[in-house]
């Protein structure tokens, strides 16, 4: 058996890779993150973090840090004022008529954070818990064997080989890891091209804040100072985007001539929509944009990737510790979620096209979204609040367990706080503590708490580390059923 240098090597030090490193370190998994760019060298971008992701961050004791990080994101005052003047909080294809879905009232419903501030929060947590993050290094080769993966990493010193038990590609839509693993990336070709830039624009008052649908495309001015245009049926150049391209696109879409100086960045992207043919090839896995790309409508990308990381982290840790079964559920659970996001972003792109026929369709959709059932359906789809992993005849299993106040012998505590250590949580709500006693052979892996909750889903709840329900036991609770659930999700009983 060859010795590995790390249990897991993560390619990509963006939010998804760093979140995965945070998750793995909760379980003592030795973790190396390699990132090609220097800290803060990524394109400036504001990430919209939705309510369900924030609930998950609360369960990792990261929510307070995320709220503080939002204050580091510039130019949000006007955005907040706009939100205060409307009951709508979300959009579908630029129609700002969506609600919020079902979320916990005590939590923020949305945060807007700069990518830099988000990465700083997650880097502090990851490195503070023992993860190693190497900047200026990238994966250029992979060679799997029975014991692990030999990874060729290139930095300014040249190439070196690092062995890891598993490799996770969190290295974006052009993922090198995905290509080296031989995983296909099928999907649809682009129908539109968007330019985005950040700099100083003259006569900015002539360019309104927010999303503007025009006869020839879309113009957007963001709260953080970015401007963007979207045009259909244009040839996408192979060369890097330029400020002049953005200037010309603004003129075509809005009719306004602008000067664009002190340029911090200009980028170009499309609506190319792709999904990895598989999320795993042996000891190599994918998460975030390495597994799926889509048009950034509704701010879904960052949330989809962060939730990939939280779903994967505890399962990959179990595999590193000799229990591979949970890891087999990663793609089965997360792939359908990505498929739905890709579907709704394609639909939004179709509804965003210029033209009188689409005008009529948008008017009809606006009416339809006035119906509560339709509005809630689309809201839940955008914000991910209706995700149901299933895998059981019990419809409760696979749903996200909402936070609630629990009365325990030690006092009142929130469910979110009980999950912060990353261990599965067994809630015994029978009033007898029988389930706590029955779970004692798993006490090294499972946190068992007796509590009172008159509105609970069942008498006993086994909650996974990611906050989803693994098993529900109705009174009278069968020890055999409880033991079977604990064994399936947490491994054999301690002898």
Which among 327, 352, 383 is the end of a domain? 383
| Predicted local confidence at residue 106, as pLDDT | 60
Domain identity same for 101 and 171: yes
CATH number at residue 322: 3.50.50.60
Q: How confident is the model at residue 84 (pLDDT cuts 50, 70, 90)?
A: very low
CB 51 within 8 A of CB 101: yes
Answer yes or no: is 135 within a domain: yes
Q: How far is CA 105 from CA 9, 101, 404, in A?
A: 38, 11, 10
CB 247 within 8 A of CB 197: no
CATH number at residue 265: 3.30.70.2450
For Cα atoms 257, 261, 263, give the angle at the middle one, nearest 5 degrees.
120
What CA–CA distance (Å, rounded) separates 349 from 447?
45
Residue 58 parent element (H or E): helix 51-58
Domain identity same for 212 and 251: yes
Answer yes or no: is 391 within a domain: no
Domain identity same for 265 and 235: yes
Residue 438: alpha-carbon gap to chain centroid:
36
The string of DSSP codes covering 203-224 is TGGGS-SEEEEETTEEEEE-TT
Answer yes or no: is 443 within a domain: yes
Domain identity same for 145 and 102: yes
| Predicted local confidence at residue 439, as pLDDT | 95
Domain identity same for 304 and 425: no
Answer yes or no: is 355 within a domain: yes
CB 50 within 8 A of CB 207: no
Average pLDDT over the chain reads 91
CATH number at residue 425: 3.40.30.120
Answer yes or no: is 282 within a domain: yes
74 has a pLDDT exceeding 60: no
45 is written with which tokens?
């971008």
pLDDT, tens digit (0-9, with 9 covering 90-100), for 145-190: 999 999 999 999 999 999 999 999 999 999 999 999 999 999 999 9
pTM of the model: 0.95
What CA–CA distance (Å, rounded) separates 400 from 388?
7
Domain identity same for 250 and 330: no
Domain identity same for 127 and 174: yes
Which among 247, 270, 293 is the end of a domain? 270
CB 149 within 8 A of CB 169: no
Burial label, 480 (beta-carbon count in 10 A; 0-12, 13-18, 19+)? exposed
Residue 154: alpha-carbon gap to chain centroid:
28
| Predicted local confidence at residue 89, as pLDDT | 63
Mean pLDDT across 467-478: 92
Rounded to 5 degrees, what are φ and ψ at 298? Answer: 85, 5
100 has a pLDDT exceeding 50: no
| Predicted local confidence at residue 266, as pLDDT | 94
Domain identity same for 160 and 287: yes
Question: pLDDT: is 200 or 104 the higher one?
Answer: 200
| Predicted local confidence at residue 76, as pLDDT | 58
Answer yes or no: is 409 within a domain: yes
Domain identity same for 355 and 465: no
CB burial string 205-225: b at 16+ within 10 A, e below: eebeeebbbeeebbbbbbbbb
Q: Across the strands, what pairs with 141?
A: 152
Domain identity same for 456 and 340: no
Answer yes or no: is 397 within a domain: no
Q: In the chain, how many domains are there?
A: 3
Which among 232, 247, 270 is the end of a domain? 270
Q: How confident is the model at residue 298 (pLDDT cuts 50, 70, 90)?
A: confident
Answer yes or no: is 218 within a domain: yes
3 has a pLDDT exceeding 60: yes
86 has a pLDDT exceeding 60: no
> Cα(first)–Cα(last) distance of the chain, in Å?
28
252 has a pLDDT exceeding 50: yes
Domain identity same for 215 and 161: no
Whole domain around residue 426: which residue ranges?
Answer: 405-490
Question: pLDDT: is 78 or 434 the higher one?
Answer: 434
pLDDT, tens digit (0-9, with 9 covering 90-100), for 40-52: 778 888 889 999 9
Residue 378: alpha-carbon gap to chain centroid:
18
The string of DSSP codes covering 281-346 is ETTEEE-GGGTEE----SSHHHHHHHHHHHHHHHHHHHHHTT--GGGGGHHHHHHHHHHHHHHHHH
Rounded to the nearest 10 degrees, how much is the dihedral formed by the CA atoms of 200, 203, 205, 207?
-80
Domain identity same for 134 and 167: yes
| Predicted local confidence at residue 85, as pLDDT | 46
104 is written with which tokens?
């916990």
| Predicted local confidence at residue 456, as pLDDT | 85
């Amino acid at each position: 058996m060859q010795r590995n240098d790390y249990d897991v090597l993560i390619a990509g030090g963006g939010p998804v890779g760093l979140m995965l490193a945070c998750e793995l370190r909760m379980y003592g998994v030795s973790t190396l993150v390699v990132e090609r760019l220097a800290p803060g060298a990524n394109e400036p971008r504001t990430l919209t973090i939705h309510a369900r992701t924030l609930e998950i961050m609360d369960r990792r004791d990261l929510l307070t840090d995320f709220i503080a990080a939002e204050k580091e994101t510039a130019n949000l005052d006007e955005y907040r004022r706009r939100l205060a003047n409307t009951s709508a909080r979300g959009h579908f294809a630029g129609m700002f008529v969506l609600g919020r879905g079902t979320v916990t009232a005590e939590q923020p419903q949305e945060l807007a954070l700069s990518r830099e501030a988000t990465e700083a929060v997650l880097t502090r947590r990851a490195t503070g818990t023992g993860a190693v993050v190497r900047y200026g290094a990238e994966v250029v080769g992979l060679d799997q064997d029975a014991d692990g993966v030999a990874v060729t990493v290139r930095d300014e010193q040249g190439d070196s080989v690092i062995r890891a038990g598993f490799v996770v590609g969190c290295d974006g839509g052009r993922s090198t890891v995905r290509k080296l693993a031989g995983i296909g990336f099928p999907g649809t070709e682009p129908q539109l091209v968007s330019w985005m830039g950040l700099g100083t624009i003259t006569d900015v008052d002539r360019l309104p804040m927010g999303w503007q649908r025009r006869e020839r495309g879309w113009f957007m001015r963001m709260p953080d100072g970015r401007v963007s245009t979207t045009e259909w049926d244009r040839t996408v150049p192979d060369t890097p985007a330029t400020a002049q391209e953005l200037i010309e696109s603004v003129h075509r879409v809005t009719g306004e001539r602008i000067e664009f100086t002190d340029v911090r960045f200009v980028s170009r992207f499309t609506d190319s929509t792709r999904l990895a043919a598989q999320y795993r090839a042996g000891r190599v896995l994918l998460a975030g944009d390495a597994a799926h790309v889509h048009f950034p409508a509704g701010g879904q990308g960052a949330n989809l990737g962060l939730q990939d990381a939280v779903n994967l982290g505890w399962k990959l840790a179990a595999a590193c510790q000799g229990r591979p079964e949970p890891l087999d559920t990663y793609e089965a659970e997360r792939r359908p979620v990505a498929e739905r996001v890709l579907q709704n972003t394609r639909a939004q792109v179709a509804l965003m096209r210029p033209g009188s026929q689409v005008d009529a369709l948008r008017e009809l959709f606006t009416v339809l979204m006035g119906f509560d059932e339709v509005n809630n359906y689309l809201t839940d789809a955008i914000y991910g609040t209706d995700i149901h992993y299933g895998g059981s005849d019990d419809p409760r299993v696979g749903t996200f367990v909402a936070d609630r106040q629990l009365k325990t012998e030690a006092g009142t505590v929130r469910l979110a706080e009980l999950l912060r250590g990353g261990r599965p949580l067994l809630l015994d709500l029978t009033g007898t503590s029988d389930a706590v006693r029955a779970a004692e052979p798993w006490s090294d892996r499972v946190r068992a708490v007796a509590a009172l909750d008159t509105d609970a889903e069942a008498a006993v709840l086994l909650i996974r580390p990611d906050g989803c329900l693994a098993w529900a036991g109705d009174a009278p609770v069968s020890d055999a059923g409880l033991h079977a659930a604990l064994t399936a999700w947490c491994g054999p009983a301690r002898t």
